[in-house]
Amino acid sequence: MFVSSPSSVTESNDESSGEDGADASDARTSELADTSSGEGESESYRVASYDPASRLLSVVNENGVPAQLSVAKGDNVQILGPALQEGRNLYLRHCMHCHGVSGDGAGPTAQYFKVKPRDYRQGVVKFTSTKANVPRPSRDDLFRIVKLGVPGTYMPSFMLLPDEEVHAIVEYVRWLAMRGEMERKLNAWLSLDYSKEAVADMEEPAEEIESAFAEAWADEASDNITQFSEELQMDWQEADKEENVVVPPTERVPPSPESIERGRKLFQGNKAKCASCHGLTGKGNGPSTESFNDLPGQPGVKSDKAGLFDIWGNIVKPRNLTAGVFRGGRRPIDIYRRIHSGIKGTPMQAFGSTLNKEGEIWDVVNYVLSIPFENKQGGH
């Protein structure tokens, strides 16, 4: 209910994108299709209310002002709700077993996995094409992961699911992520004044605390919820913008022995310090895997286990690059993006600004792609 973006109405003239909706959506959209509309552009509104009995849908614009949908015959009105419903059904069939009903990565089979299924609720996934300062994945990224799977983990490929079904799943996963984030934001806000400890410290009687809380909620909840959902909407929309996709400034440097050698020096040297985690030979056994680090989200609190943590609280091993298994994809651009923007949610940082000389990242990419074959080539 709180999340605005997926329950918005998108109006566009794109024929293909409107096929997702189930029969119910056709019935709803036909009512809207009677009014007239402008041409060529796409607008989106938020659903303010929907009355199933009269099948009347009212919408508001970005500022919350009631709006009139002007739609002409032949226009395509897409209500993302039905797509979400289909996505939910598909998610429950194919994904829930590992990723959990709420997307918390704790489905029934998750307990058997050494590599844990992604918990979406922080809105962070590892393998994205987006820039380092864009915290969310694009739809494209999620689509690719579902279609191709993640080799080296338990995530299988859903290559043969029809594209529309994968799109629906992607929408639902985004929705779960937004829901989780929204809950976390609300939680963080309420914990400012009403955390368990704070309430325990209060001296007023329970009724007074309750009524004060109700008052605070009535005063601030609406504004906060709007603000949170706007933040969410902005973050997720940023991720889908073309300018936020990492595109290398130059084409790949040919993987010549010289380039590989330059890459190796960067990998092992002090500039990029790849070796401090991935090890001198890329086996993923660098010194920092043996060090004691802060627990995720608790700066200053050391873990009693050695190793690197991701934000989900798992100890992550730096990738063993000699195995030739690349979770986020093996295309040069995939490795480039991993190095350029890092792997979100993990200690793998973004090196886009460190390796700033022309072709440096490509040299490292060439070296990384050559590691599995090093001995066979009789090289370094």
Partner 1 sequence: MNKFWPIFFMFWPILAIVSFVIAPGMDWWFPGPAMSPLGEQIDNLFYLILVIVAVTFVGTHVALGYVLWRGVDNKDQKAWFSHGSHNLEILWSIAPAGILMFISLYQLDVWMEFRVKTHFPEGTTPVAEVTARQFEWRIRYPAPGKKLMTTPQSDDLYTVNDLHVPFGRPVSIRLRSMDVQHAFFLPELRVKQDAVPGAVIPVWFEASKPGEYDLTCAELCGWGHYKMRGRVFAENESGFEQYLETLQAEQNFDGVTQPEHTGAQIAEYGIEDSQ
Interface with partner 1 by CB under 8 A: which residues?
A: 14, 17, 42, 94, 97, 109, 138-140, 143-144, 147-149, 151, 154, 156-160, 163, 167, 237, 240, 242, 246-248, 250-252, 324, 330-333, 336-337, 362, 369-370, 372-373, 376
Place of tokens 């993990």: 346
Q: What single-letter DSSP state applies at residue 288?
A: G
Q: Which CB, 182 or 246, lies closer to partner 1?
A: 246
Nearer to partner 1, 244 or 293 (CB): 244
Rounded distance, CA 106 to CA 127, Å?
Answer: 20
Q: Closest approach of Cβ 359 to partner 1, in Å?
A: 12
Rounded to a whole number of angstroms, the minimum distance from the CB of residue 65 to partner 1 is 21
Burial of 13 (0-12, 13-18, 19+ CB in 10 A): middle
Residues 6 or more apart whose Cβ sits within 8 Å of residue 165: 86, 90
42/222 with CB nearer partner 1: 42
d(CA 91, CA 84): 10
Least CB distance to partner 1 at residue 160 (A):
5
| Cβ within 8 Å of residue 65, ≥6 positions away | none
Residue number, 66 or 324, with CB nearest to partner 1: 324
Tokens (6 digits) for 85: 């419903």
Q: Shortest approach of partner 1 to residue 76 CB, angstroms?
A: 12
- What tokens were used for 313? 């609280």
Work out how close the CB of 347 gets to partner 1 at its nearest, in angstroms, rounded to a whole number. Answer: 24
Torsion 296-301-302-303 (CA) sign? negative
**Minimum CB–partner distance for residue 251 and partner 1 (Å):** 4
Between 18 and 347, CB nearer to partner 1: 18
Give 176 or 239: the residue with its C-beta nearer to partner 1: 239
Of the candidates 224, 230, 227, the one whose C-alpha atom is nearest the C-alpha of residue 193 is 224
Q: State the amino acid at position 306 in one-letter form.
A: A
183: helix, strand or coil? helix
Least separation in angstroms between CB 266 and partner 1: 18
When the beta carbons of 252 and 273 are compared against partner 1, the nearer one is 252
